[in-house]
Amino acid sequence: MEVRIEEIKIGERFRKDFGNLEELAESIAEIGLLQPIGIDSENRLVFGERRIKACQILGWEVIPARLVDLDLLIKGEFAENELRKAFTTSERVAIGKALEEQLGERRGGDTSKGEQSNPQNSSEWKGKETRELAAKQAGFGSHYTYQQAKDVVENGAPELVEAMDRGEVSVSAAADVATLPKEEQAEIVARGEKEILEAAKRIRSEVREKKRAEVVARLNDVSAKEIKALSGKYDVIVIDPPWPMQKIERDVTPNQVAFEYPTMEEEELSALEMPAGEDCHMWLWTTHKFLPMALRLLEVWGFKYVCTFVWHKPGGFQPFDLPQYNCEFALYARKGSPVFVDTKAFPTCFNAPRGDHSEKPEEFYEVIRRVTAGVRIDIFNRRAIEGFDVWGNEANG
């Protein structure tokens, strides 16, 4: 469809730097407008302000436009990807922003009219954030990618935005480069795709190292440690629960059946409140038998499982008609976004000799002290551990 430019409602836009509009106008004059602008049913501009300005330079009074029906997008009634395929990334960002605005207005208004007027009340959308819904309907894989694309559109030089739209650079790489001054962005884009990727990799590494240094400094701050110790909050938790197991009766000790220390059932372990700080590492020790329970406990305690550390022992118990159990597991999980101080020589499998009953190897603790910072605690431990507060019946032995 064609729309009179004077009838288009542009409103407040994020882009302030429109780049070389004369050059764009010359291109349009030579080969025409390859992509129409986007408007909604009330003639509000969704995307294409730069194209409008270039066409105004040429003296155009009307401009080709595509109707973007935000209601249909919100209700999810578009044929799968049929319409979205033709949109560039920056156009999908514009659609997402328009959806965010419209959803925000609806969520702040009357929600008594049912799902027809308020589709965000449907079971598919309940509990989801506005930006997550907008990201999905605008064709982004996640709200994180959507936010990265928004950062490029809002902070990127025109050359960088156009390179992203042409598919010459990924959204994530463009978002990294968009953190630089616009003049520097333009220079990097002019040097080609390889230079863009190298710059993005360098920026990402610098940001990661800066964040790591800031976190480590904060974790190692003496006053912060004292406050956490007083409040009972820890940055690192190692826990070796007294699993609900019993010893096997043997002829050599016919009267020794129960363990010498009390055990706890899953219900009791689930009721424990972990003394975790906002960003916390956890290693949960377990055996083959209690792996399923250990994973359930991590979820109950509010930790997200990441990976498993394996302690390879010299020998071990071998049940009848089964393999020899010559290893134990320390499930690594995290709450929030903790960081490691160092990841060199940090494997998930390690060899170490046995100690006393249920005692965990010093080799494990040496690694944890090296790769983490902050306040640490070892729960249900059997001995005093350097660099850890301890809690357990045998910790002082």
Does residue 10 sit in helix, strand or coil? coil
pLDDT for the residue numbered 10: 83
pLDDT for the residue numbered 105: 60
Task: Let me know the angle formed at the C-alpha of 58 by 53 and 61, rounded to the nearest 5 degrees.
Answer: 75
Provide the whole-model pTM.
Answer: 0.51
Query: CB of 246 within 8 A of CB of 258?
Result: yes
Structure tokens belonging to residue 153: 């559109």
Residues of the chain with pLDDT under 50: 77-85, 109-120, 122-127, 246-259, 395-397
74-92 core/surface letters (b: 16 or more CB in 10 A; e: else): beeeeeeeebbeebbbbbb
- Going 147 to 151 to 153 to 158, the CA torsion angle's sign is negative
pLDDT for the residue numbered 128: 56
pLDDT for the residue numbered 46: 83
**70 Ramachandran zone, left/alpha/beta (phi>0; psi -120 to 50):** alpha
- Closest Cα partner for 138 from 102, 185, 179? 102
Query: CB of 37 within 8 A of CB of 66?
Result: yes
Q: Residue 288 and residue 92: Cα distance in Å, rounded?
A: 49
Does residue 208 sit in helix, strand or coil? helix
What distances in angstroms separate CA 319 from CA 289, 293, 325, one per listed residue?
A: 11, 20, 8
172-202 core/surface letters (b: 16 or more CB in 10 A; e: else): ebbbbbbbbebeebbebbeeeeeebbebbee
- Closest Cα partner for 94 from 43, 37, 42? 37
Query: CB of 238 within 8 A of CB of 388?
Result: yes
Structure tokens belonging to residue 71: 């209601």
The 8-class DSSP code of residue 9 comes to B
Does residue 136 sit in helix, strand or coil? helix
- Closest Cα partner for 71 from 129, 137, 126? 137
256-293 confidence digits (pLDDT tens): 344 455 788 899 899 999 999 889 999 999 999 999 99
Does CATH place domain 223-391 in 3.40.50.150? yes
Element of type H or E holding 284: strand 276-286
CB neighbours of 170 closer than 8 A, spacing ≥ 6? 164
- Closest Cα partner for 38 from 103, 106, 81, 92? 92
Domain ranges of the chain: 2-212, 223-391
Q: Residue 176 and residue 136: Cα distance in Å, rounded?
A: 22
Structure tokens belonging to residue 374: 């902050």
pLDDT for the residue numbered 282: 97
Write the DSSP assignment of 73-95 as a string of letters: HHHT-S-TTTTGGG--HHHHHHH
Phi and psi, residue 267, nearest 5°: -60, -40
pLDDT for the residue numbered 261: 53
pLDDT for the residue numbered 124: 47
